[in-house]
Structure 1
Amino acid sequence: MLDNATALHLATRLGFGPAPGEVGRIRQLGLESYLEQQLNANVNQLPPALAGQLHSIPAFGKDTYALYHEYWFTAIADLRPGQRLPREEKGLLRKITNGVGAQARMARLARAIASPHRLQEALVDFWFNHFNVFEHKKFVRVWVGAYEDEAIRPHTLGRFSDLLLATARHPAMLVYLDNWQNVAPGVRAHGKNAGINENYAREVMELHTLGVDGGYTQADVTALAHILTGWSLGRGYGGGGRRQRDEDLAMRGGFGFHPALHDRAPQTLLGRKFENHGEEDGEAALLMLARHPSTARHISYKLAQYFVADEPPPKLTNHMADVFTRTGGDLREVTRAMLTSGEFRDPANYGRKLKTPLQYIVSVARISGLDPRRSAPLAEELKALGQPIYGCVTPDGYACTESAWLDPDAMMRRLSFAVKFGSGAYMRALPDQYGSMNKQIHLQPEAGGTPLDSDTLVAALGGELSIKTRQALAKVEKAERAGLVLGSPEFMRA
């Protein structure tokens, strides 16, 4: 039978920490069986209670076309070209779109806490940050949840090339990194003279594929930007007249290639010539990047940094890169190679990574058995801890390393949260985060404030507490012990 420490390591690295009884279940399954269960899970099959909660969220499951027209288009439909929203209507639009984001955050947290597909939720966290979009940029306000569900979740264990193309074509990414405004020189688009915009081309090479030292030049950035001109939004998404709706483009997720905006001049990217006749050249360029050896190394390093160690061993990342190249970017096989490696299973790596605020908050919710229907206000705690969901402004996403999150003020805020949550006062103090327009998912606070049982928390951890923490627990009142467990150094780490 698997030992407690290894079972806890699996529960923490693969799934934000154990729920009560989970360490024991993993021990019974064994390492190989548990890993295969997670690697081959039917991620679309959720427990009825969780599925019911998700489908009670008004915006959940709606595609980009529906979200745009239901939450954005109606507010601007009667505007004449060039006319701006009155101030009071801007406030209403902001309230509506912020509400959509709140619903997306609720769905993310509920799945992170209650989904049995632990690895899937950890991979969603990783890949969303890898292909980050910032919620509060224009239309992304209403699309961020759909971006996660349409572009990220279906591909976490699929082909990297499919994941790259799904993000590249998604309206949220097109708007966030401005490729919807990337048009041939001299062409008038979106009511103004636009021209070449290199934002997406630069970030797709630096962050999404090759890496900063991946062997590309500024000339390659410029060439890729020219190749991707005309990759924009479909009509009815801000990419054409406000009253136009194009069902064909809607079926493609809101992406539209506009030949009139495309620069047809031949380009040379990483030594390969592209005739640049149309959309197919952009797809070919992205596929070339997806299959590049530098991409294999970059992706392998980042995955190992998230799941294994802040400074992953070169032997491991080289092995993962070899698997990436040999399998054509099969992320299931790359992830399997990482999780079955000696480096991942090395006890020297247990408890060595500092949890990010998201990992910490979700691990508290999971070990306490928090009902996911009450999870939405945790988003406010994440904001206070510096990691609001969908709130990273920069395209590199949130870091997963200790240096990014370890500072005295941040640790004090975590301790304050731990004490408040452990005492039972947390749920009593929760405000309504949704407002009148979202009463159907309003969370009612707990009537009581019964402290969490520290013995239950320790048992859920498989008894894996240090002597120092056990001595500290013995010195405080019983009502204070749960907060001490949740704020202990070992619980802060994964």
Structure 2
Amino acid sequence: MPDLSLAALAAHRFGFGPRPGELRTIAGDPRGWVKAQLRQPDTLPPQIAALPAAEDDLLAFGRWLARRRLNGGNAARLEERAERQGVTQEELRRLSVEEDFVENFRERATRAVAARLEAAITSERPVHERLVHFWSNHFTVSTAKPAAIALPPSFEKDAIRPHVGGKFADMLRASSKHPGMIVYLDNWLSVGPNSASAQNPRRARRLPGGGRPTGINENLAREILELHTLGVTGGYTQADVQSLAAIITGWTYQRARLRDFISDARGERNGGALFEFDADAHEPGPKTLLGRTYRQEGVAQGEAALNDLARHPATARFIATKLCRHYIADAPPEAAIVRVANAFERSDGDLRETMEALVDSPEAWETPRAKFKRPEEYAITLLRAVDARQLPPGAGIAALTAMGQRPYAAPGPDGWADIADAWLTADLVWKRLEFAQAFSNRIARADLSPIALGDACLGPAMGDETRTAIMRAESPAQGLALLFGAPEMQRR
């Protein structure tokens, strides 16, 4: 007999919530429905495929920077001219770096966020889309860094999406070599102290400001160890951070030429095609990381080190803990962590097999609504519930920013928090309720029954209190607002 309770749990816990009619499809085999979506798809969602390539993202920032320098001029003289011509200070302020920066990248950012949301709300494979969001958060590249402002969408497209159903080692290498990560964590500025570039600074590549990098930058190496593989308690030392930083010196990306900035041509190459190894910047010689010595030369040294990190037992434990925290509970059960970590190690980091172990864990099907949805998940749940297919221009990014989670803009390399305490603040919960009210007012109509919608989205998970409150609503809009703001919709 179909189990609508398990179907609702599967749809919300592993996906983004069901679209109308989907619960009954899932109910025939909830675990099978989840597992069927763990296979790597052959194509990208059309909304994602239409986004600019990584090369175009790099050119966007470079063109903005070049234009600002060409139009720099004398600020005092510009203010004098403004006064003579009757231009107000507020109007002049629009020409400031900050205003110009925001204006230049607003359309690109809005389009990318809309594509990500529409891919999730229209997907027939919501479990896969949720995994894309999980791994994109694990390997965070954020617009919070100005130089990387255009890069997170193409990073997600190039380094995350192709590997969600594949090997963790492949995703780790792809993310570490992508210009998005290299720019975000400054590895393009890293030069070995005994490298050819350090010994002869004229051989070092110039930076956009005209200077040259002068030493090792540890940012990417530290985050690979702390956030991407072993975890902060994974047994590495500061000496290991320094060693890995030396191992990946020279990992950079192909720079555009001035002629490329002047041209209006769209860049078409993806991040993998843009990776470049600068032998002159690489620190020469063998290096020891976690007790193992790497004698390879060139880029092979870094690839060997990443492959070993991907297979380290501490990495298996760290990844398993994060997955169980994301899908099961803020304080994940130890039995599930061990089961998932063992699958990760046994399969050599096969992410599909690792997730299958999680789906097969009894803990994953117990304690419904143990997790509080982050704002993006919550918004997608509501949009899927009403079978939305397209967002009004700018609506997604504005609403999510208000609720505290602007996509692609995590505040730091550790990404968005995955525990309820980070999101259960009075202000953020109030913003959710405002969103639920505004969304309800926009879509309410006489033939849209809040009770029927709740049954289709939550099944037996809709509690008696919520049902009663909706039935007593004075209008369809109020009924929808009560449904969308109910605890059952906020949790998974």
Q: TM-score by structure 2 length? A: 0.85
Pairing 1:119–2:137 present: no
Pairing 1:300–2:320 present: yes
- After superposition, the C-alpha distances for 1:301-346 in whole angstroms (9 at most, x for unaligned) are 1011111111111111111111111111000000011012111122
CA distance in 1, matches of 2:393, 2:20: 17
Give the structure 1 partner of residue 170 of structure 2.
162
Instruction: Tell whether the 8 Å contact from 1:2 to 1:31 is kept in structure 2 after alignment.
Output: no
CA distance in 1, matches of 2:34, 2:409: 31
Give the structure 2 partner of residue 422 of structure 1.
440
2:106 to 67, 74, 98: 98
SS at match of 2:192: coil
Instruction: Tell whether the 8 Å contact from 2:167 to 2:349 is kept in structure 1 after alignment.
Output: yes
Matches within 5 A, 1:379-394: 379-394=397-412
Please list every run of 5 or more consecutive structure 2 residues that lacks an aligned counterpart in the other structure.
Answer: 76-94
CA distance in 2, matches of 1:297, 1:387: 27
Give the structure 1 partner of residue 451 of structure 2.
455
Instruction: Tell whether the 8 Å contact from 1:418 to 1:483 is kept in structure 2 after alignment.
Output: yes
CA distance in 2, matches of 1:340, 1:270: 33
2:384 to 366, 377, 382: 366
1:223 to 243, 246, 266: 243
Pairing 1:290–2:280 present: no
- After superposition, the C-alpha distances for 1:198-252 in whole angstroms (9 at most, x for unaligned) are 11111110010000100000000001101111111213189x997899x999784
CA distance in 2, matches of 1:54, 1:274: 38
* Amino acid across the alignment from 2:138: H
Instruction: Tell whether the 8 Å contact from 2:31 to 2:359 is kept in structure 1 after alignment.
Output: no
- After superposition, the C-alpha distances for 1:256-289 in whole angstroms (9 at most, x for unaligned) are 1100011104321100112362111011111111
Give the structure 1 partner of residue 12 of structure 2.
12
Deviation at 1:76, TM superposition (A): 5.1
In structure 2, relative to structure 1, the CA distance for the partners of 1:41 and 1:454 (3 Å cut) is farther
CA distance in 1, matches of 2:397, 2:67: 35
1:352 to 363, 370, 383: 370
Instruction: Tell whether the 8 Å contact from 2:451 to 2:470 is kept in structure 1 after alignment.
Output: no
Instruction: Tell whether the 8 Å contact from 1:308 to 1:344 is kept in structure 2 after alignment.
Output: yes
In structure 2, relative to structure 1, the CA distance for the partners of 1:295 and 1:323 (3 Å cut) is same
CA distance in 1, matches of 2:109, 2:139: 18
Instruction: Tell whether the 8 Å contact from 2:108 to 2:150 is kept in structure 1 after alignment.
Output: yes
Give the RMSD, CA atoms, in angstroms. Answer: 2.8
- After superposition, the C-alpha distances for 1:8-67 in whole angstroms (9 at most, x for unaligned) are 011001211111111111113x12431232123635275xxxx3x566xxxx34321233
In structure 2, relative to structure 1, the CA distance for the partners of 1:179 and 1:19 (3 Å cut) is same
Give the structure 1 partner of residue 462 of structure 2.
465
SS at match of 1:311: coil
Matches within 5 A, 1:41-120: 42=41, 44=43, 51=46, 60-69=50-59, 71-75=60-64, 85=72, 88=95, 90=97, 92=100, 94-120=102-128
In structure 2, relative to structure 1, the CA distance for the partners of 1:37 and 1:301 (3 Å cut) is same
* Amino acid across the alignment from 1:485: L
For the pair shown, the structure with the greater C-alpha radius of gyration is 2
Q: Which moved more, 1:195-204 or 1:247-256?
A: 247-256
2:423 to 378, 399, 405: 405
Deviation at 1:361, TM superposition (A): 0.7
Instruction: Tell whether the 8 Å contact from 1:182 to 1:197 is kept in structure 2 after alignment.
Output: yes
- After superposition, the C-alpha distances for 1:348-392 in whole angstroms (9 at most, x for unaligned) are x21111111111111011112222243751221110111110111
* Amino acid across the alignment from 2:431: R
Instruction: Tell whether the 8 Å contact from 2:316 to 2:341 is kept in structure 1 after alignment.
Output: yes
SS at match of 1:25: helix
Deviation at 1:400, TM superposition (A): 1.7
CA distance in 2, matches of 1:18, 1:164: 31
Give the structure 1 partner of residue 226 of structure 2.
206
In structure 2, relative to structure 1, the CA distance for the partners of 1:236 and 1:214 (3 Å cut) is same
Deviation at 1:112, TM superposition (A): 1.1
CA distance in 1, matches of 2:55, 2:268: 11
Instruction: Tell whether the 8 Å contact from 1:235 to 1:241 is kept in structure 2 after alignment.
Output: no
Deviation at 1:417, TM superposition (A): 1.4
Deviation at 1:159, TM superposition (A): 0.2
* Amino acid across the alignment from 1:36: K
In structure 2, relative to structure 1, the CA distance for the partners of 1:77 and 1:470 (3 Å cut) is closer
In structure 2, relative to structure 1, the CA distance for the partners of 1:250 and 1:474 (3 Å cut) is closer
* Amino acid across the alignment from 2:480: A
Instruction: Tell whether the 8 Å contact from 2:179 to 2:271 is kept in structure 1 after alignment.
Output: no
Give the structure 2 partner of residue 492 of structure 1.
490
Instruction: Tell whether the 8 Å contact from 1:76 to 1:85 is kept in structure 2 after alignment.
Output: no
In structure 2, relative to structure 1, the CA distance for the partners of 1:206 and 1:260 (3 Å cut) is same
Residues matched between the structures, number: 455
Give the structure 1 partner of residue 472 of structure 2.
475
Deviation at 1:469, TM superposition (A): 1.6
CA distance in 2, matches of 1:420, 1:251: 39
Q: TM-score by structure 1 length? A: 0.85
Give the structure 1 partner of residue 336 of structure 2.
316
* Amino acid across the alignment from 1:454: P
Give the structure 2 partner of residue 442 of structure 1.
none
CA distance in 1, matches of 2:44, 2:247: 39
Give the structure 2 partner of residue 437 of structure 1.
none
CA distance in 2, matches of 1:41, 1:165: 18
Instruction: Tell whether the 8 Å contact from 1:109 to 1:362 is kept in structure 2 after alignment.
Output: yes
* Amino acid across the alignment from 2:389: D
Give the structure 1 partner of residue 85 of structure 2.
none
Give the structure 2 partner of residue 441 of structure 1.
none
Give the structure 1 partner of residue 37 of structure 2.
38
CA distance in 1, matches of 2:41, 2:257: 33
Instruction: Tell whether the 8 Å contact from 2:4 to 2:23 is kept in structure 1 after alignment.
Output: yes
CA distance in 2, matches of 1:142, 1:293: 35
Deviation at 1:72, TM superposition (A): 3.7
SS at match of 1:39: coil
Deviation at 1:2, TM superposition (A): 3.2
In structure 2, relative to structure 1, the CA distance for the partners of 1:77 and 1:13 (3 Å cut) is same
Q: Which moved more, 1:471-480 or 1:415-424?
A: 471-480
* Amino acid across the alignment from 2:282: H
* Amino acid across the alignment from 1:456: A
Instruction: Tell whether the 8 Å contact from 1:227 to 1:267 is kept in structure 2 after alignment.
Output: yes
Please list every run of 5 or more consecutive structure 1 residues that lacks an aligned counterpart in the other structure.
Answer: 426-447
In structure 2, relative to structure 1, the CA distance for the partners of 1:92 and 1:23 (3 Å cut) is same
Instruction: Tell whether the 8 Å contact from 1:424 to 1:451 is kept in structure 2 after alignment.
Output: no
Instruction: Tell whether the 8 Å contact from 1:133 to 1:173 is kept in structure 2 after alignment.
Output: yes
Q: Which moved more, 1:31-40 or 1:482-491?
A: 31-40
Give the structure 2 partner of residue 277 of structure 1.
297
SS at match of 1:392: coil
Give the structure 1 partner of residue 81 of structure 2.
none
- After superposition, the C-alpha distances for 1:84-127 in whole angstroms (9 at most, x for unaligned) are 85684955554232322221111100011111111111001111
